Amino acid sequence: MKRILIGCEFSGIVRESFRSKGWDAWSCDLLPTEIMGKHLQCDVLEAAHSQYWDMAIFHPPCTYLCAGGVNWINRKPEWRPGRDAAVVFVKKLLDAPISRIALENPIGHLSTAIRKPDQIFRVWQFGEPFKKDVCLWLKNLPPLIPTHREKPEKLRTFDFWSSNRKTSTGGSKKSITFKSVANAMADQWNL
């Protein structure tokens, strides 16, 4: 059975999409899981380096990495060490000894600190009624193929900051992956 690590995920959404396709799917986060299932409540770097995984999908917190976070750093230089630590964390995730990796984050600092993403998609391309762009950095995985071709007439702005979710470190908000995107990942990366 193929094993997948879904790192920095406490929601269980991506984990359960892969589980439904027959994977031995594990989520990992410092927070407990919201959906009961195979979940490691620990440092994702420890999990990535201490066990064998066929694939990993990482969702590192974007507080310091997203475009909004980058704008705050210009106003609050004390955020700079947090941003630098976040970049180091992402580099360690991408360097994990796992043959296939996808790393998801919004448009922001990683494009200059690491490299341009391999794919940028809009969540409406997977059936969600929101204006939200998602970047993927891929290692031995193909870009996702959109499941919806036509842009809906009315799109809502995705209000990330109104979420009541906390980050693994208890800081600012943490987004979750839309189920439609998680299902596309499980369908298309079921290699």
Name the pLDDT band for 69 (thresholds 50, 70, 90).
Answer: low
Q: Are 65 and 90 in contact (CB under 8 A)?
A: yes
More confident residue, 55 or 78: 55
Distance CA 134, CA 146 (A): 12
pTM, 2 dp: 0.90
Amino acid at 3: R
> Looking at the predicted structure, is the pLDDT value of residue 125 above 90?
yes
3-state secondary structure of 185: helix
28: left (phi over 0), alpha (psi -120 to 50) or beta: beta
Is it the case that residue 165 has pLDDT exceeding 60? no
The structural domain count of the chain equals: 1
What local confidence, expressed as pLDDT, does residue 176 receive?
84
Q: Determine the average pLDDT of the residues in 139-147.
A: 98
Task: Report the DSSP pairing between strands 100-105 and 55-58.
Answer: parallel
Flag whether pLDDT at 170 surpasses 70: no
Average pLDDT, the chain: 90
Q: Who's near 77: CB < 8 A, 6+ residues apart?
A: none
Does the pLDDT value for residue 131 go beyond 60? yes
Give residue-wise pLDDT tens across range 176-191.
899 999 999 999 999 8
The predicted-structure confidence for 91-120, as pLDDT tens digits, reads as follows 999 999 999 999 999 999 999 999 999 999
CATH of the domain at 137: 3.40.50
166: containing domain = 3-188
The arithmetic mean of pLDDT across residues 132-136, rounded, is 94
Write the secondary structure of 82-127 as one string of H (helix), E (strand) and C (coil). Answer: HHHHHHHHHHHHHCCCCCEEEEEECCECHHHHCCCCCEEEEHHHHC
